[in-house]
Amino acid sequence: MSHYPDALARLVQEFMRLPGIGPKTAQRLAFFVLRMEERDVLALASALADAKRKIQRCQVCYNLADAQPCRICSDPRRDSSILCVVEEANDLIAMEKTRTYAGLYHVLEGCLSPLEGIGPETLRLPELLKRVKAGGTKEVILATNPTVEGEATAMYVARLLKPLGLKVTRIARGIPVGGDLEYTDEATLARALEGRRDM
């Protein structure tokens, strides 16, 4: 880095901390910043600092939020009798983009991974049980990923919740919209057949 001026070397180093950014990309980004208008650079810096300072976990659902509770938890139009359990906050965003779900969420902040030694104690499970036991919840939708880890998490959560007498459901798995049966793998097709419904 000795061939860079100090301030530029620091900027390249900071970019290199980001995931997927190597020295070449970091250098390209740093040179781009140097060409930007000063007000745009300040806006970027302030956005970074603001996000770090203001974004926190909602103490009800553990979604990322800038207020307590988050906008979803405090929205009176939401159906508080349905809880959708997701692994991470970005899964919640994906669910929200569907515009078909009007209930509340619970973010587990991870998933079980027996082979990595990630057990239930690392997830927001006590908080989920507390919410459900507080009353008002009629259905819990398990929307963890259809991976081995996601399935393990869904089964584990279902086992915890079933004794409470709630309706516990799992999101359907099958052929993606716009998919082609010929190119669908056997495992997915088998799931789609199992999950068929009346028309």
Binding interface with other proteins (CB under 8 A)? 20, 112, 114-117, 119-120, 147-148, 151-152, 155-156, 159, 176, 179, 183-188, 190
> Of 114 and 126, which has the nearer Cβ to other proteins?
114
Residue 190 CB, nearest distance to other proteins (Å)? 7
H runs (alpha helix) in 55-196: 89-97, 125-133, 148-161, 186-194
Residue 6, C-beta contacts closer than 8 angstroms, at least 6 positions apart: none
Residue 107 CB, nearest distance to other proteins (Å)? 19
H runs (alpha helix) in the chain: 6-16, 23-35, 38-54, 89-97, 125-133, 148-161, 186-194
CA distance 45 to 34: 13
> Of 105 and 156, which has the nearer Cβ to other proteins?
156
Residue 25 CB, nearest distance to other proteins (Å)? 14
Residue 21 CB, nearest distance to other proteins (Å)? 13
| The token pair that represents 68 in the structure block | 């307590």
Query: Could you tell me which of 130, 78, 122 has the C-alpha nearest to residue 101?
Result: 78
CA distance 101 to 109: 20
Residue 18 CB, nearest distance to other proteins (Å)? 14
> Of 66 and 194, which has the nearer Cβ to other proteins?
194
CA distance 8 to 16: 12
> Of 69 and 120, which has the nearer Cβ to other proteins?
120
> Of 33 and 155, which has the nearer Cβ to other proteins?
155
